[in-house]
Amino acid sequence: MVMNDKSSDQEINQFNQLADRWWDPNGPMKPLHRLNPLRTSYINTRHPLAGKKVLDVGCGGGLLSEAMAQAGASVTGIDLSFDLIAAASGHAKEQGLTIDYHQRRVSEQASQDTRFDVVTCLELLEHVNDPKTIIEQCAQCLKPGGSLFVSTLNRHPRAFLLGIIAAEYVLNLVPKGTHHYKQFIKPSELNHYAEDAGLEREDIKGFQYHVSTQDFSIDGDLRVNYIAHFVRPKEHA
C-alpha cells in the first residue's frame, strides 16, 4: 500500500507501527479491508488475473497481493517497510498462499529482467515525493500489452474535506497524519505521468465511501479516491 523510492523515513516508520494490526478487519486498516474486494474486482474484470504474473508495488501488509493470488495470479509484492513485508509474508504462509515478497524499491525491481502482465500501484503515490518517477519505473516492469493499475487521491477540495478532515479527524477511519493534501494527484497529472512513460489510459473510475454502510462503491465521480487502468502498447516492445 505504501512506501517506495521517494518516501520519507518518517512515513515508513508510521506504517511500520501498523504492521501488527494490518490484518485486523476492524483495526486502523479497516477502510482498506472494505475497499479491497472492489478494487480487486475492478482489476480482475479489466485484466483477468488467472495465470498472470503480477507485481504489487507498495504492497504493504499484503491485502491486495493475497486477493490477486486467490484469483489465480502469480504475485510478487514489494515494499520498503521491513515490518510490513514480514506481516505480509507471515499472513500468506498462514493462508497457504505462495507470494514472492521482497523489501525492495521499485527502481530495483525495474532493473531486473522479469516483466509482468499486470503491475498494481494502489494507495501509494500520495505518499511519495516523486510520483512521476514511480510511474515510469512501474511502466518499465510491464510486458508489452501489460496493464498498470493506479489508485490515489485527487487534489480536489472534496478530497481534502473527506480524505483528511473527515477520514482522519472526524470519523477516525485512518490514523491522523496519514495523508498530506499537497501530495494528492489530479487525474490530469496522472495521465501526463503515464503518457510520458509510454502508457495509454484505458479507463478511470472513482471510489465513494458511504458512512451509513461503512462500505465503498465505484462510479464516475473522481473528486476523492480514483483508480485508473493504463496499458503499455505492444508496439513499444
Q: Is residue 237's pLDDT more than 50?
A: no
CA angle 121, 24, 29 (to 5 degrees): 40
Q: Is residue 140's pLDDT more than 80?
A: yes
Per-residue three-class SS string for 67-121: HHHHCCCEEEEEECCHHHHHHHHHHHHHCCCCCEEEECCHHHHHCCCCCEEEEEE
> What average pLDDT does the segment 7-36 reach?
79
pLDDT in tens, 109-130: 999 999 999 999 999 999 999 9
Shortest CA distance to 84 belongs to which of 3, 141, 25, 177?
3
pLDDT of residue 236: 45
Q: What is the pTM of this model?
A: 0.90
> What average pLDDT does the segment 137-165 reach?
93
pLDDT of residue 101: 98
pLDDT in tens, 195-223: 999 999 999 999 998 988 889 999 999 99
pLDDT in tens, 226-236: 999 999 998 64
Q: Domains in the chain, please, with CATH? A: 9-236 (3.40.50.150)
pLDDT in tens, 70-90: 999 999 999 999 999 999 999
pLDDT of residue 12: 65
